[in-house]
Structure 1
Amino acid sequence: MMTEIESIAGETPGIAYQLIVHRFAGSGGERAPRVYIQAGLHADERPGVAALHYLIPMLKQAEAEGRLLGSLTLVPHANPIGAAQHLYGEHMGRFATGTRTNFNRDFPVPDENGVRVLDSASSAVFAERRLKSRLLELADGCPIVLDLHCDDEGVQYVYAPEQLWPEMSDLAACLDAEAALLWDSGSDRAFEEAIFEEMKARAPGGDLSGHCVTTVELRGQNDVTAALGRKDAEGLFRFLQGRGVVAKDDTPAPALRDDFTGKPIRHVNMVLAPVGGTILFHVAPGARVKAGQLLAEIITDPGRDDGTVAVLAPQSGYVLTRRIRRFIRMGDNLIKIIGDAPVAARKGALED
């Protein structure tokens, strides 16, 4: 393994950020798969960092034993800018405080002529823009690109292009994922969308067989333990074996869970808070609910008979995620449900 430390200049004198990049050169030659994996793009989401902490030694051992065939580029802390943002003891890792832009939005994508313009390290633009361009450069030419994230509180799920499904179900099976959300178009220019647009532009004859690009949602923000980190690393390693990046062993390939839920994104109900107040949840991620079932109560006037507002399931479906904080404003996202029936045509991200 080779480690490189790149410097990203800040916007003012004396400020710079370090981007740590690990590279593995496999022994399989030019035809072996190339892989890019990053974690912590939303810098307050740490399960992916824990997974790479355990995956890297596994890859180093495979390299030492001559079992590493493909090449890999790993960026465990993909957002050093967001990692440094703290306000009054609270980590602000999702949005750039200087521009109020989500770190996983507004990545450069090819224009109508197929031309993608990236910012260079010396471009006179905000550091977050130069970081986004550099992350895309690091992933360029890799048919397998994994962006490790997590939700507030949620099950393990993948967020993948519908065009690459069900071929990508091997990743969901290896990770023991409980669900998949499939998208067919987007407008928010998240990292995976920008990668996929460039993949399609580069693919000879439009052939995307063997390609994999996805946001992997590794449960919730507080699901950061040694046991879960090892489990996720082992799942990623099995996936890499199945894709020919690491030599296979005799372990049989896992299958999707019997209770796996995979639906297009238009099936997702974003249940919003009808009022502000303190949340009392009555269902957890992974639960099946029926239309009209009580999902949560919101306390608006404690102690009074009419001091709570009930939130009911808009349709039958599967509870994917819920809010991690227990105080909410009117209109904020409360729960995501994968409905049994489509909700509406949906484009772009589910939330900001």
Structure 2
Amino acid sequence: MTRITERHALLSETPGTQRVVTMHRYGRNTDGKKAYVQACLHADETPAMAAVHHLLQSLEDADNKGLIKGEIVILPYANPIGLDQFQDDLLLGRVHLGGEGNFNRGWYDLTEMIKDRLEGRLEDDADKNISIIRKAMQEALDEITPTTEFESLRKLLVSEAARADYVFDLHCDDDSLPYLYISDLNWPDCQDFAADFGAAAIMMAENSGGGSFDEVYTRPWAELARLFPDNPIPQATMSMTVEHRGRPDVSDEIGAIDAEALFKFFIRRGLIEGDAGPIPKALCDATGTDACEIIQSPGAGFVTYCKNLGEQVKKGDQIATVINLFAEDPNKARTPIFTGTDGIFFTRRQHKAVKTGMVVGKVAGTEPLKAGYLLED
């Protein structure tokens, strides 16, 4: 058995308390590629936990059989801070209740952190430059001195993931079909995983504007290649955010299916010896994140839907109605909600009470709708 289980303590902010991140490391001394998988950076997105649980079962079996040929690092929960944010039996794991914002926004800009220290260090060999750049990343990260618990978590996760060739950040939506956020720098290289996973939508952007975790590892290679055009710098990291359907979609059956998609990816990339079988037919092509319509409620009340997830919609189609219980005239209580683009209706709200501006659905289209900040929040 090659698995090593590590427990990394975070910075303690209050006397007598200290949170810990667990990492399971397989194939540490192998010569192959490295993969990093974390679940629940948004701590209340439990379908990701189920997928990782079943993935670990498969990795244990492969490890016992000597089939692990690369290094695979698994974090069954990436955010113990968020996991402790229960209020009245409800886990609020998306936003740091201590005031540091969305757990998946504002991550490090590694290009800014290392570009100056790369001057005069890069060579004419692409493989050597990968090593030089990753060393510079670790040097810059090592210089960070966290002053908060969340900052210590940031440093820990990025220091580990920045060493990887493949980075998977596992999440879920509210009520949703399975889908992916990827970098266009990794398409179509990751289309086999998208097909195995059964992604109903694939949004791609080099920079979505929010500093999300997955973009920490894809953006530097393209940005540095533009900054140092005389030195060969390949796209050395594939990274993506995997949305495991909606929050209620937690079961052994679903978790096992999603784990199998990840396991097959590792086989196809040579991290595990085995036969992944034929790649299934993809359910969709990748489209721009800038073409994803984020539909907001025009008023307060509760929402009802007249379209089902997975339906193809046209611009101007009604997908839902918001009903205002405070309307003086009950005949004017209903306000229809329409789509603004053609595409697949792939997410909606699980809890139907809404306030003005709250997101009630998303449609993955093909025509650009926005620029700059492309995310929901």
CA offset at residue 194 of structure 1?
1.4
Counterpart code for 2:375: L
TM-score by length of 1: 0.92
Instruction: Provide the C-alpha distance between the structure 1 equivalents of 2:99 and 2:300, rounded to a whole number of angstroms.
Output: 27
Q: Retained in 2: the 8 A contact 1:284–1:322?
A: no
Q: 2:209, 2:375 within 8 Å by CA — same for their partners in 1?
A: no
Q: How do 1:134-153 residues align onto structure 2 when only pairs under 5 Å count?
A: 134-153=156-175
RMSD: 2.2
Q: Aligned-pair distance for 1:205?
A: 2.0
Shift of 1:22: 0.3
| Equivalent residue number for residue 25 of structure 1 | 27
Q: Is the 8 A contact 2:315 2:341 kept in 1?
A: yes
Q: What corresponds to 2:299 in structure 1?
A: 275
Distance 1:36 1:201 in 2: 22
Q: What are the residue-to-residue correspondences of 1:1-352 with 2, within 5 Å?
A: 1-25=3-27, 29-30=30-31, 32-110=32-110, 111=112, 114=115, 117-118=140-141, 123=145, 125-200=147-222, 205-208=232-235, 211-249=237-275, 251-257=277-283, 260-301=284-325, 304-345=330-371, 347-352=372-377
Q: Compared with structure 1, are the counterparts of its residues 181 and 250 closer, same or farther at alpha carbon in structure 2 (3 Å cutoff)?
A: closer
Report runs of 4+ in structure 1 exceeding 4 Å deviation.
Answer: 198-204
Q: Compared with structure 1, are the counterparts of its residues 33 and 254 closer, same or farther at alpha carbon in structure 2 (3 Å cutoff)?
A: farther
Higher helix share: 2
Whole-angstrom CA distance in 1 between matches of 2:106 and 2:72? 25
Give the deviation of 1:47 after TM superposition: 1.0
**Which residue number in structure 1 is paired with residue 133 of structure 2?**
none
| Alpha carbons 1:114, 1:201 under 8 Å: kept | no
Amino acid at match of 1:71: E
261 and 155 in structure 1: CA distance in 2 versus 1, 3 angstrom threshold: farther
Structure 1 unaligned residues grouped into runs of 5+? none
Q: Which runs of 5+ in 2 are unaligned?
A: 117-136, 226-230
- In the alignment, the residues of structure 2 paired with residue 48 and residue 252 of structure 1 have an alpha-carbon distance, to the nearest angstrom, of 25
Do the aligned partners of 2:217 and 2:239 also contact (CA within 8 Å) in 1? yes
Q: TM-score, normalised by structure 2?
A: 0.86
CA distance in 1, matches of 2:358, 2:321: 14
Aligned counterparts of 1:40 and 1:124: Cα–Cα separation in 2: 22
Deviation, 1:248, is 2.5
**Relative to structure 1, is the Cα distance of residues 120 and 349 closer, same or farther in structure 2, using a 3 angstrom cutoff?**
farther
**Code of the aligned partner of 2:302:** T
